[in-house]
Amino acid sequence: AQSVTQPDIHITVSEGASLELRCNYSYGATPYLFWYVQSPGQGLQLLLKYFSGDTLVQGIKGFEAEFKRSQSSFNLRKPSVHWSDAAEYFCAVGSNYQLIWGAGTKLIIKP
Amino acid sequence: DTAVSQTPKYLVTQMGNDKSIKCEQNLGHDTMYWYKQDSKKFLKIMFSYNNKELIINETVPNRFSPKSPDKAHLNLHINSLELGDSAVYFCASSQEVGILGVGENTGELFFGEGSRLTVL
């Protein structure tokens, strides 16, 4: 069965520190992978996506993610977080017609 | 100019009532969706419409009835509300019906801000 796992329910990092949010997937075919961010009280916004090609994908707001087929992972990274990055982050894997979502990771920023 | 707008943003009602949530998108997209986000932030797709035609209908009680009067609108009507219906409901739209389109925004969903439904 297709599934997406985000092992960390919440992560706390200091402002200016680096960030890595983990995402593992189980999917039978070539995955189409996404990271979305949900700021408090807002809808979700696409950060980046991977369909094919270069396995290191650049997104908005200084985020990047790396697709590792051997590890079935698509981890999200940012070299230096800002207080405005505090939000819920969702990983998703796409079949042709719909997305399967992870449970989300809440990012908390310490001043 | 809001791309995907939902109303109302908050809705508090009693069990057994009927309520509707409206959604409109001004992006010119062909496909619209309703998602339910529970208290644990888990997102689950409920319905998807493409050009007013239902294409995804997940296992949702038939108390939930989507209506798409035109491709820019997708409303959600809920009959006989139950406590378990309390959640945030998100409307979303996408340029194409599938992930594997060819446009710049292929695979991207554009979400509304959500409608928080509380059933007492």
**Mean pLDDT, 10 residues at a time, over chain A (111 residues)?**
91 97 88 92 91 92 95 96 96 80 95 87
Q: What is the rounded (10 degree) CA torsion for B77, B78, B79, B84?
A: 180
Spatial CB neighbours of B29, under 8 Å, sequence gap ≥ 6: B71, B93, B94, B95, B110
pLDDT digits (tens, 9 = 90+) for B19-61: 999 999 999 998 899 999 998 888 998 998 888 888 878 878 9
pLDDT of amino acid A11: 97
User: A98-108 burial, b for 16+ CB within 10 Å, e for fewer?
Assistant: bbbbbbbbebe
The shortest C-alpha distance from B18 to chain A (Å) reads 24
pLDDT of amino acid B95: 84
pLDDT digits (tens, 9 = 90+) for A61-72: 999 999 999 999
Contact B114 A43 (CB under 8 A): yes
Whether A30 has its CB under 8 Å from any CB of chain B: the answer is no
